[in-house]
């Protein structure tokens, strides 16, 4: 996982000391009579249909990555000999299993090098479920938890899928990204290479980054979303009480998929943030210590992996894969909001623009705002937008509230009979 550069949330700090904080949340409309609504996948009964992924096999892939790093200057940084050898190892195993495998050269990467894409036969080509992990590491060490664990977990799941060769209701695509540690560059290059039709084929992207942390937690990207339901269902069946992956927001390869309007989720076990006492009580481990004490360090070797956390992650991937691609499950009626940039300062009398992107499938969306104190007006024109086609702009005058903290909640209400996929551009907030 790349290092943190931005904080969560969107705030405009007026130089008089006032802060305006915007929080975006989805609201699902009540369905009309007779409307089918997607529900979280039940567990544990459906879990039995998915294979048990051998954690020993996943660890064997990690041993290979560690050996590759040891033979190539101690790391697997994008563009290095260690990265190329890692890609060759994964590619060779996939080709032998029968995958259609391609390499995509990332010319805009900090260290130009290749993404690896593998697709399994079966399932309609316009109904794709995608699983990804970054294959590169930092130059400081072998990068075994970050992110050999995600890469090895997907590789073993891909090999098991090929060996069992079930009847597919969705097309399955795996990806191993380059240059994540330099700014999510490999996945950004891939997403930017897709046209609108190709993006629309991808019904869900699932990202796996650092899924074996030694003092790990159980975190899910967008944990309450429909897209996350199969991942959450498996961990719920183990009594793990997973939490939102707050630490990883905007810091891994799901980011540009979400920005492109593709529903996303994924697993993580934590990086340099510290485990809380409440988390230690329910998950075990040590409170007030980092989830991964070797994050971006030379000690990120095979010794820096929890077999228990890794096993639960690998089996959860299998459960989600089987539910989504063999059971006919599809992320539906899903809705999320991302703000870019996440923070910015603006002088009194000036204005600034931020972009609010949503993920999901197409539908009509009503716009509203709540939480503004007396004297602050928020307007929408139009008051509703059509996914991928509508536009609305609002200007908020906050000059009268210098020195105060004002929270505005912008709400998109989805049409429950459809699926959400749209981008709301040019949201203007003005202090005067």
DSSP annotation of 432: -
C-alpha–C-alpha distance, residues 53 and 50, integer Å? 9
User: Is 244 known to be catalytic?
Assistant: no
Please choose, from the candidates 256, 127, 273, the residue with its C-alpha nearest in 3D space to the C-alpha of residue 192: 256
Q: Which residues neighbour 128 within 8 Å (Cβ) at sequence distance 6 or greater?
A: 170, 171, 172, 173, 201, 202, 203
Distance CA 336, CA 328 (A): 22
C-alpha distances in angstroms, 270 versus 122, 229, 264? 34, 20, 18
Least Cα distance to 256 among 22, 2, 26, 40 occurs for 2
Rounded CA separation 54/58 (Å): 7
- What's the CA gap between 67 and 123, in Å, rounded? 36
394 and 380 in contact (C-beta within 8 Å)? yes
Cα maximum dimension of the chain: 67
Of 119, 180, 181, 414, which residue is the catalytic one? Answer: 180
Instruction: Report which of 390, 379, 391 is spatially closest to residue 430, judged by C-alpha positions.
Output: 379
Task: Enumerate residues 6+ apart whose C-beta is below 8 A from 124.
Answer: 170, 171
235 neighbors 316 (Cβ within 8 angstroms): yes
CA distance 214 to 364: 45
DSSP-derived secondary structure letter, 294: T
Long-range contacts at 384-389 (CB < 8 A, ≥ 24 apart) = 385/422, 385/424, 386/362, 386/422, 387/360, 387/361, 387/362, 387/363, 387/420, 387/421, 387/422, 388/261, 388/362, 388/421, 388/422, 388/423, 389/422
Rounded to 5 degrees, φ, ψ at 351 are: -140, 160
Which of 174, 154, 184 has the alpha carbon at shortest distance from 78?
A: 184
Terminal alpha carbon distance of the chain? 40
Indicate which residues carry an active-site annotation.
180
């Amino acid at each position: 996982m790349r290092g943190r550069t931005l904080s969560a949330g969107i705030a405009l700090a007026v130089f008089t000391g006032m802060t305006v904080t915007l929080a975006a949340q989805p609201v699902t409309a009540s369905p009309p009579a007779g409307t089918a609504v997607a529900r979280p996948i039940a567990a544990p009964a459906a879990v039995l249909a998915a294979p048990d992924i051998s954690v020993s096999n996943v660890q064997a892939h990690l041993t290979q990555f560690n050996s590759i790093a040891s033979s190539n200057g101690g790391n697997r940084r994008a563009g290095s000999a260690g990265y190329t050898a890692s890609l060759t190892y994964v590619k060779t195993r996939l080709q032998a299993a029968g995958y259609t495998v391609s390499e995509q050269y990332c010319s805009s990467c900090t260290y130009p090098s290749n993404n690896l894409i593998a697709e399994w036969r079966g399932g309609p080509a316009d109904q794709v479920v995608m699983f990804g992990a970054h294959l590169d590491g930092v130059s400081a060490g072998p990068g075994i938890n970050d992110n050999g664990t995600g890469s090895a977990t997907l590789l073993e799941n891909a090999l098991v899928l090929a060996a069992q060769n079930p009847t597919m209701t969705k097309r399955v695509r795996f990806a191993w990204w380059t240059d994540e540690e330099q700014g999510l560059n490999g996945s950004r290059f891939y997403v930017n290479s897709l046209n609108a039709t190709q993006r629309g084929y991808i019904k869900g992207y699932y990202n796996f980054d650092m899924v074996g942390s030694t003092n790990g937690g159980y975190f899910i990207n967008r944990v309450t979303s429909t897209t996350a339901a199969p991942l959450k269902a498996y961990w719920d069946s183990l009594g793990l009480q997973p939490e939102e992956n707050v630490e990883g927001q905007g810091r891994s390869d799901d980011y540009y998929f979400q920005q492109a309007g593709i529903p996303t989720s994924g697993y993580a076990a934590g990086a340099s943030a510290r485990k809380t006492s409440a988390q230690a009580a329910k998950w075990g481990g040590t409170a007030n210590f980092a989830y991964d004490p070797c994050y971006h360090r030379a000690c990120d070797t095979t010794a820096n992996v929890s077999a228990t956390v890794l096993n639960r992650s690998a089996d959860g991937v299998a459960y989600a894969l089987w539910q989504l691609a063999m059971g006919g499950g599809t992320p539906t009626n899903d809705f999320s909001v991302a703000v870019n940039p996440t923070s910015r300062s603006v002088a009194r009398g000036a204005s600034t623009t931020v972009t609010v992107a949503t993920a999901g499938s197409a539908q009509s969306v009503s716009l509203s705002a709540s939480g503004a104190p007396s004297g602050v007006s928020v307007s929408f024109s139009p008051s509703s937008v059509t996914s991928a086609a509508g536009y609305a702009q609002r200007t908020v005058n906050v000059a009268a509230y210098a020195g105060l903290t004002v929270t505005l909640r912008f709400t998109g209400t989805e049409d429950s009979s459809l699926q959400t996929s749209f981008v709301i551009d040019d949201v203007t907030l003005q202090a005067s």
